[in-house]
Structures are given as C-alpha cells and as structure tokens.
Chains A and B, each alone.
Chain A
Amino acid sequence: MAVRYALFLGCIIPNRYPSIELATRNVAQALGMELVDMKGASCCPAPGVFKSFDKFTWLTIAARNLCIAEGLGCDIVTLCNGCYSSLKEANIILKEDATLQDKVNGILRDFNKKFYGKVEVRHFIEVVQREVGIDNLRRFVKRPLRLNVAVHYGCHLLKPKRHREVKSVERPTFLDELVEALGAKSISYRDKMMCCGAGGGVRASNPDVALDMTKEKLKNIKDAGADCVISPCAFCHLQFDRGQVEAGLQLNVPILHYVQSLGLALGLEPEKLGLYSHAISVEPILKKLAY
C-alpha cells in the first residue's frame, strides 16, 4: 500500500492521548502507509467552540491548516471526528463559495498562504476503507479480536449528511463491518447512535450535562455485556475514558480507539499501541485476548 497522507493530529491526541499517536504511527508502518507531519498546524479549530463565536474565524483557521496539507501535496487523514468535521466542512465550503474563498485568502495572504482546494480531508476510517478495503483487511488480521464490542461512531463521522458520503446516517453499518473484519462481534445496544456527550462545546461549557449523557450511554453499553467500546474519535475516546473517572462511575468499561483495535488485530504488541495509558484499564480485554 504505497500511500501518503498528511497526518492531522489535532489537540487531544498529542496532548492527552499520545498513546493514540503511537498506535497510529505503528499501524501506518505495518500497513505501509506514509504519514507526513503537518508542521505549524494549529487546532482544527474545534467546531463546537469556534462556530459558536463566528463562522468566518472558524473557516479561516481551518483554511490555514488545509493550506499546510496543500503545500505537502497530500490529502489529510484525521483520527478525531471533531477535526474531521471542521477540516472537511471548511474544505467543502471554501471550494463551493468563491466569494468566501477570496475573503479568506485576503487574510491568508498576510503570511504567504493561499487556499487552492487541492486536497481532500479523510477520516482514518475512510482511509482504511479506501486503501485497504474490508476483504483485504481480513487478510491482514494475525490475532483475531475475539471480543464483544460496542461500536460507537460518534456524531461527526456521519452528520450532517449533506457534507458526508455515508449511505445511512440513522443506521450505518460500515464501522461495525470494519470492527467485525478484525474478528470481533459488534453487539447491539440501546441508543447506539446517541452522542458521547462531549460535542458542541458542552464538555467545556456544561460538563455535568456532558457527563450525564456519557453515563447513560456507558450504562447501556455495560448492560448489553460489551467487553469494550471501539470508537474512531479521539474526543469521544477522551469523554468515555476520562468521563468514567470524572463522573465517579464504577462501570470500568475499557475504550479503544479504532486504530488501537486494528493494531491488536495486526498482531502489534500492546505497548506499541499505548494500551497501558488509559484512565480505565484495558487489562481485562488483553487478558481475554491471552496477552
């Protein structure tokens, strides 16, 4: 797989979960994918926070990040639904609206940047679908992930549908298929499509409300008998993992980012996937997988 992507790490991964960055770099290497660092990139910026103030500022900060990938000549890959949402939507809006593009470029000109609309923004999940493919993925699996998994998509992987390319927003299956391709069983649970609680700036503005949502979601997951949650989003990952500690929940539901579960299935050692850096220990699932 000779492919090259600009890696957009965002804020949460390098500053809260370096474990996910480690897993990403090791999994990419195992798959033969080249990741190029986006030197100088800032916060995406967080859609729920910055769109709340002023959409033009949100758009311009995002455009500057897009320009960095354009300079590198490769499409962007993200591992956070929030970064995906901001960068993907800003990219679409700027490509479609020449007036806004001119206005944004008027500001970017100050530091010799210009948005051309030359790259695409992809989620890591889409990259796996496109570059590996589900059938091929099964062939990569060395250690099947024999676990009962609660799959959590996260809102912004899917919505709003006018800016996404998914077949079904209400009942999607692609992530369940990617999880099952690793040898796991995706179990059904109540309110599967519910938000983790963190989005829209709510984690920062009303943390108690965010944690109430998280608690309900995790209780449903625990009741369904899941061994763990697999999510493709660093922000949902943070909310589920740290949220259990912050809310004082005694549920002990381990959380894996999809890239970490993929790494396990590829046969990478847990230490190479940062699996000992979670707030909620993943030891029970490692034990079940005979590590």
Chain B
Amino acid sequence: MGLTAPLRSDFLHEIASVPRGYGVLKCIQCGRCASSCPVARVVPEHNPRKLIEAIILGLRSEVVPTKLPWYCLSCFTCLDRCPQGGDAGEVMFAIRNVAATEGNVPSGLLLQVRSLAETGRIVNPTKIALRERERYKLGGLPSVDVEAVRKVLSRTSLVKFVR
C-alpha cells in the first residue's frame, strides 16, 4: 500500500460514479463486510474491506484486473449489515462493471451473455430435460422472443460482448 497515494483518488470517483457504486464513498473501513462474507471463508484473499481500501487508495491495478470482485456471491449479507449504508455488495458490481468495459470478464459469464443473444436464455435444454418435458406432457419449450432480446442488446453497452 503506497503511503503517497492520494486519499481521494480518481479511481475512487470512477467507482463511485458507476450506478450504485457511490456507497464506496461512505466506507469507514470497519470490516463488518469482510467478517460477514461467506465466500471469504473459502477464498481468504477475497476481502471486501481490503478491496474497498485499495479503491480508496487509488490502487486500480490491485482491483480491476484481478479475480477478486468475481468471487462475490451477491448474497448481500454485507450490504444489509453495513453500518454506513455503504453497499459493499453493490461496490463489487461497480468494480465488475469497470472491469467489463476493459474486457476483464470470466469466460463463464461471457458465454452466458452470448447465450442470451442467441436463444434469449442463459440455460439451454439438455436432452434429458427435453425427454422429461415430453414425458410430463409439458409441451415444447416456452417461446422466447429472441429478436426483441437482440434489439435490446443492440441498443445497450452489452452489444460489444455478443458480436
């Protein structure tokens, strides 16, 4: 941690300006988020307090290109417990939004975005599921207006991930 880093960094404001990322400005580094985080038990390096500290200190390279924000389960335990209303869980999404604009996205999630563009769903049927639908007389798969979904995607920032 560089002691010479500016306390109100550009990076802090970059995260704060993402929708719902503003909660980062309220952080008092009490650590209740980290002690509440269930995933921190199995991935000790994922520590929401430390991630937010790095944002406050402007240490962009220790946050954005890493895997750390992608371990968040969005269980929102931290969000509900934050004494400052600081929304640590939403800050994780804000970091992901910034990382996504730079193309730093886990491949598993990218596949789901592409699937939405192709079929309108992120989970597509297995052969077993199709057989079960037949056996249960549920009819074919529910209809999806894929064209409409593609139109929405073409008008929003997600378009660059589906080409």
Q: Does A136 contact B (CB under 8 A)?
A: no
Within B49-76, the residues touching A (CB, 8 Å) are 67, 70-76
Contacting pair A159 B80 (CB below 8 A): yes
Within B36-54, the residues touching A (CB, 8 Å) are 38-39, 41-43
Q: For A14, what are the chain B residues with a Cβ–Cβ distance below 8 Å?
A: 125, 129, 133, 138, 141-142
Q: For B109, what are the chain A residues with a Cβ–Cβ distance below 8 Å?
A: 49, 52-53, 201, 204-205
Q: For A11, what are the chain B residues with a Cβ–Cβ distance below 8 Å?
A: 121-123
Question: What band does the interface of chain B fall in when counting residues whose beta carbon is under 8 Å from A?
Answer: 35 or more
Within B101-136, the residues touching A (CB, 8 Å) are 105-106, 108-109, 111-113, 116, 120-126, 129, 132-133, 136
Given contacts A61-B152, A64-B152, A213-B38, are A199 and B142 in contact (CB under 8 A)? no
Given contacts A60-B152, A209-B71, are A55 and B19 in contact (CB under 8 A)? yes
Nearest B residue to A106, CB-CB: B155
Q: For A52, what are the chain B residues with a Cβ–Cβ distance below 8 Å?
A: 70, 93, 96-97, 100, 105, 109
- Shortest CB-to-CB span from B76 to chain A, Å, is 4
- Other-chain contact of A42, B71, B121, B133 (Cβ < 8 Å): B121
Nearest A residue to B94, CB-CB: A55
- Shortest CB-to-CB span from B126 to chain A, Å, is 7
Contacting pair B144 A42 (CB below 8 A): yes
Q: Does A216 contact B (CB under 8 A)?
A: yes
Nearest B residue to A21, CB-CB: B138
User: Scoring A residues 112 to 147 as 1 if CB is less than 8 Å from chain B, else 0, what string do you get?
Assistant: 010000000000000000000000000000000000
Interface residues of B (CB under 8 A from A): 19-20, 38-39, 41-43, 67, 70-77, 79-80, 89, 92-93, 96-97, 100, 105-106, 108-109, 111-113, 116, 120-126, 129, 132-133, 136, 138, 141-149, 151-153, 155-158, 161
Interface residues of A (CB under 8 A from B): 9, 11-12, 14-19, 21-22, 25, 37-43, 45-57, 60-61, 64, 107, 110-111, 113, 155-156, 159-161, 169, 191, 193-195, 197-207, 209, 212-213, 216, 274, 277
